[in-house]
Structure 1
């Protein structure tokens, strides 16, 4: 909720270093935990945990976050919904319902291999193999079948 302070515990259970970047969230008191690896913070190493303090001062609405180390941003992402303070109104008519939609991309190969190819040849990387809606590729990409590689 707008005006609250939250603590987000990030557990890195992956094989790569990560950091988390919060889009649309002001970080005036904690700019050293805003995501860019080795610029505003040290990475969270595999097997480690990092507690990130976020003060929601003026933010309101649906914002998003993602990993911010190399191409891990393509693999770890989500939404954060910040409601208005109790007793205040939306700047528009209150919605009848809420539906969260998160868009993403999926590569059939390791995203770090795609990054390495981009760095080696200096050209755009391979287009993703699928666009995702809420983590799902849709019916045209049969990745849930055992015959799909």
Structure 2
């Protein structure tokens, strides 16, 4: 499904507001995703209106990105800034970054954030149980 930025933000906002409905792994019941789909329906600009299943799939992708960032942050000697992402500057650091993101498939989730933070990080972080 195609998502525009406003739809993604609305989904994240909805799930953040309903975080108490999440399970132990940060997933929600299909009813919550279906309610989220209804809430974001007026924002649909391209493609069909989102369903609960489509929202669940999008949430899975967002969680994958979040977990990739968390894994990166847990690496010794690696820098992460929520405004500037990996803040990759200089050739030597770029080589290390490229090696890291190519090493494992789940590392590619942070590729777009080499010099940009992720606008959804804080809200998604707050959804997960601590």
Higher helix share: 2
Structure of greater Rg: 1
- Asked which structure has the greater RCO (Cα within 8 Å, sep 6+), the reply is 2
What TM-score do you get using the length of structure 2 for normalisation?
A: 0.29
What TM-score do you get using the length of structure 1 for normalisation?
A: 0.27
Higher strand share: 1
